Structure 1
Amino acid sequence: MKATGVPAIAGAYLFEPTPHADERGFFCRTFDADVARSVGLDPDAFGQDSVSRSVRGVLRGLHLRAGTGEAKLVRCSHGRIFDVVVDLRKDAPTYGARAFFELSGDTQVTLYIPAGCAHGFQALTDTADVSYRIDRPHDPSEDVTIAFDDPELAIPWPLPVTAMSRRDREAPGLAEALRNHGK
C-alpha cells in the first residue's frame, strides 16, 4: 500500500492498495497503520466505521462538521462513485479548492479527507457501497450541509440526481451554510 498526497487539497491523501489477484478474485489490505503514520496520521484516532449503500444517481452531500471538524477515510468497496472534496479550512493553502475523484470497488483506493473539508459523492453504478472511517463519534448537532448545486462551487456532477435526502435537497448555499455555523 502506498500513500500519495492530493495536490489540490493540502493534507488529503490517496491510499492505494496492492491487490493480490488470482482465479478466486482478489485480496488486498484496505488500511495499514504504518502507512498512515508515514504521512503523519494517527491510526488510533479513527473511532467509528460506517457504510452506506446507494443506487445509481443517488447524491449524498455536501457534508461538513462544525466545531473541530471531522477527518475521515472514504473508500468505495463495491461499485463506483464520483467523489468530491471542498477545502473550507480558512488557514489552509488550498482554501476554497475542490478536488474530484472516481473511487471504485475495483481499485479499493481510500481517500483521506482532513477535518474542515466538505465531502459528497454520487453513485455511478447500480449499487455503490461506501465505507467511512471517522475520527470522532457523530454528533448530529454539528452537521453542516451545503447545497450540492451551489453555483459558487460549480461541481460537475456526472449524472442527473435520482434521489437525495431531504436535508441535502434543502441545504443552503455555501456562503449561508458557513455563516450559519461560524466558519
Structure 2
Amino acid sequence: MQIRQLGVDGAFLVEPKVFHDDRGLFLEAFSQPAFQKAVGHQLSVAQVNCSVSRRGTIRGLHATALPGQARYMTCPQGAIIDILVDIRVGSPTYGEHVAVELSAENRHALYLAEGLAHGFAPLTDQATVVYLCSSTWSPDTSIQIDPLDPELALPWPPKRDLLSEKDLAAPSLREAEKLGLLPDYSACRARYAELEDPALVG
C-alpha cells in the first residue's frame, strides 16, 4: 500500500496493492499501520457512511467545524471524481482544489484531515461511495460551500443537474469566509498536532 500526500496539507491518496487471481481479487482497503506511518496518527473511526448516486449528481462541498471530522473515502462500485477544497483561512493553499478519481477499477482511497471540504460526482451511471469518519455527523457543525462557485471553477462533469436544496443554497467560499463559517488554518494545525504520535514525529 502506498500513501502519498497531495498538493494540499492534510490530503492523502491511498493506492493499495491489488492481488488478482482466477477467483477475483483481494486488497487491503485500509491498514492502520500504513496509515499511521504516512499520516502521523491513527484513524479513529466513529461512523461509516455509504451513499449511492447516479450520474448528474454532485454531493458537496461539505466540511465540519473544528474539532472537525476526518474522512477516508473509497468507491467500491462505479467511479467518481472527488474534489477537495482547502477552506482553512490562512492556509498557503486556501481556495485551491485537488481532484482525484476513485473507482472500483483503481481501488484508490482518499483521506482528508479535519478542516478540508470535499464533494464528489459519479463518472459512471451509478456509483457507491463508502467513507470512514473520525466523528459522528452533527448538523450544528456542518459547513456547506457552493460546489458551483464560479471563483472556485471546479472540474465537475458536464452533466451536473442533481444537487440537494441545501447544496444549491450554500454560500460561495468568499461569502462563507465573510460570515465567519470557515475553520482557521492555525487551529487546524493545532488539531493535527494533538493527534500526532510522538514516536512517529520525533
Q: Aligned-residue CA RMSD in angstroms?
A: 1.5
Residue 185 of structure 2 corresponds to none
Residue 2 of structure 1 is matched in structure 2 by 2
Q: Which moved more, 1:72-81 or 1:170-179?
A: 170-179
Instruction: Say if 1:10 and 1:93, in contact at 8 Å, map to a contact too.
Output: no
What is the CA–CA distance in structure 1 between the aligned matches of 2:43 and 2:170, rounded to whole Å? 33
1:172 shift after superposition? 1.6
Gaps of 5+ in 2: 183-202
In structure 2, the partner of 1:28 is: 27
Indicate conservation of the 8 Å contact 1:56/1:162, yes or no: no
DSSP 3-state at the match of 2:167: helix
- Match status 1:113 vs 2:112: yes
> What is the number of residues matched between the two proteins?
182
Query: Could you give the per-residue CA deviations for residues 130-152 of structure 1, whole angstroms, max 9, x where no partner exists?
Result: 01111111101111111111111
Q: Aligned residue for 1:157?
A: 156
Alignment of 1:74-153 (within 5 A): 74-153=73-152
Assess if the C-alpha contact under 8 Å between 2:4 and 2:12 holds in 1.
yes
TM-score, with normalisation over the residues of structure 2?
Answer: 0.84
How has the CA–CA distance of structure 1 residues 90 and 173 changed in structure 2, closer, same or farther, with 3 Å as cutoff? Answer: closer
40-49 or 57-66, which moves further after superposition? 40-49
- Secondary structure of 1:149's partner? coil
Answer 1 or 2: which has greater helix percent: 2
Deviations 1:4-27 (A, max 9, x none): 111x21121111111111222211
Query: 2:87–2:173: 8 Å Cα contact kept in structure 1?
Result: no
8 A Cα contact 2:55 2:159, kept in partner = no
Query: CA separation of 1:59/1:76 partners in 2, compared to 1, >3 Å: closer, same or farther?
Result: same
Give how far 1:67 is off.
2.9
The aligned amino acid for 2:41 is D
- 8 Å contact from structure 1 (residues 66, 181) kept in 2: no
Q: Equivalents in 1 of 2:69, 2:178: separation in Å?
A: 19
Tell me, in whole angstroms, the C-alpha distance in 2 between the residues paired with 1:95 and 1:137: 26
Secondary structure at the counterpart of residue 10 of structure 1 = coil
Give the superposition deviation at 1:30. Answer: 0.2
What secondary structure does 1:54 align onto? Answer: strand
Give the TM-score normalised by structure 1. Answer: 0.92
**Superposed displacement of residue 28, structure 1:** 0.6
1:91, CA displacement in angstroms?
Answer: 4.2
> Counterparts of 2:93 and 2:71 in 1: how far apart (Å)?
18
